[in-house]
Amino acid sequence: MPFFVNGRVGLIFMVVASFLLFSIIAESGRVFADFNFGSTGDWGCSSSTSSTVNNIKGKGPERVLALGDYSYASTATCWLNKISDIKSKTKIAIGNHEDDSGEGFSQYMSAFGLSKTYYSFNYNNVHVLVMDTDRVSFSSGSAQYNFVKNDLTSASQNSNIKWIIVYLHKPFYTSPNTCSSSSCSNTGDTAKSLRSTYHAMLDKYGVDVVLQGHVHNYQRTYPVKYDGTSTPTITSTSSTNYNNPAGEIFATVGTGGINFHALSGKASFVKYQQDDKFGALNIIITNNGYKLVGKYYSNGGSKLDEFSIAKTGTTAAYSFGPSLTLSGEDVKASNGENNGKHLGLENGKGKGLDCAHFKQQGPVRCR
C-alpha cells in the first residue's frame, strides 16, 4: 500500500532512492562527464594561426595547453589578440621565442598571471605539470628539478588523480627533421639532458602523456619508458589502443601555424607523424574518468591520428524513473575552480542525471 505524506505519493521511496544513489556514487568514486583539453605549440600570428584557434575552439575545451613559441615577435600582443576567444582557458609553457625580455617575456607572464615559468594545476582527476626548457635551468638539483620531483611525488600519491600530463616546449624525443637547431635533434644536448634528468622520473611517478613542441610537425610515439639511450623502450606495439601501459606517450604538436619542419625519417618509437598539416591535439577524458583519448585534427577538419589509454575502475550507470525528483544546490568541482557541470553530457548540458539536483557530500564530485 503506498505511503501518503502531504498529499504526495511515494515520498518515502524518493528519499530512500536518493540515499541509495549517493551511497552508490560514494562507493564507486567520483562521477565525471567527459571533458577535454586542446593543445598545440609554435603558433605565429598568421591566418593559419587563426585557423588553429578556430580548430581548438570548435572542440569546446576546458583548458588549452599551449606548448611555447607564440608571437615570434618583440611583444606578445599579436598572439594574444589571435587567441582572445580562448585566452581565459589557456595555460602556457615558455618557449625559446618568448624567454627573453626582448621577446615580450614579462608581457606573457603578466597576461597569464604567472610568477614562475614552471607550475602545475589539477582539473578534475587530471594533474597537469608545466615545465620550462628555456628561461631557467632544468638540470638536476635546480629549483625547477626539485619542484618537478616534489610535484610528481605528490600527484602520484593523490588518490583523486587518475591521469598525469606533462608539457614543455623542447622535446625529449623526435624523428629526424629539417630544423637546423641542435635542440630539434634526438641526439642533441637538450634532448639528452631532458631524458637523462627526467624520463626515469616520469616513469617512476606514473606520467601518462608528455606534450612537446619546438619541432614544427606532429609526431606521436608508442608508449615508451627510459632505457638510458636516445631510443626508448617501447612497452606496447598496439597501433591505437593501450591498456594502462608502462611509460608515456610523447606527442610533439608543433603545428600551431608558424611553418613546418619537414620530416626526414621516422624514429622506431614513433607510431604516427606528419609534416604538412597545421592543427591541434584534442585530449578527451571519458568513461567516467578512466579513459584518455587523444585525437589530432588538422585545421581542415580531418582527424589524422587517434590513440587511447584505458585504466581500470568502476563505471556506474544509474537509471531512475521520471517520478524521482530531488532538489539541492549546484555541485561545483573541488579543485578551487568553478567547474560544476551536469552529469551525463559534456559541457554540462543536461542529459541523464543533472548535477543541479544534488548537493556535494564528502568526496563525491558530480560533474
For the chain, the distance separating the N- and C-terminal CA atoms, rounded to the nearest angstrom, is 37
Query: Is the whole model's pTM more than 0.85, yes or no?
Result: no
DSSP state of 200: H
Distance from C-alpha of 305 to C-alpha of 273, rounded to nearest angstrom: 9
Q: What is the pLDDT of residue 88?
A: 98
Cell of 273: 607523424
* Domain limits, the chain: 35-310, 317-367
Asked if 300 contacts 277 with a C-beta cutoff of 8 angstroms, the reply is: yes
Q: Give every residue of the chain whose pLDDT is below 70, as ranges.
A: 1-30, 314-367
What's the pLDDT tens digit per position in 18-45? 444 443 343 345 677 999 999 999 999 9
Q: What is the pLDDT of residue 179?
A: 98
Helix (H) or strand (E) holding 5: strand 4-5
Judged on CB neighbours under 10 Å (0-12, 13-18, 19+), 75 is middle
Cell of 18: 536518493
CATH code linked to domain 35-310: 3.60.21.10
Beta bridge partners of 37: 63, 283
- Whole-Å CA distances, 267 to 28, 162, 176: 42, 30, 7
Q: Is 347 left (phi over 0), alpha (psi -120 to 50) or beta?
A: left
Q: What is the pLDDT of residue 24?
A: 39
Asked if 251 contacts 210 with a C-beta cutoff of 8 angstroms, the reply is: yes
HSE (side-chain half, CA atoms, 13 Å) at 235: 18
Q: What is the pLDDT of residue 30?
A: 63
HSE (side-chain half, CA atoms, 13 Å) at 5: 7
Q: What is the pLDDT of residue 29?
A: 54
Helix (H) or strand (E) holding 37: strand 35-40
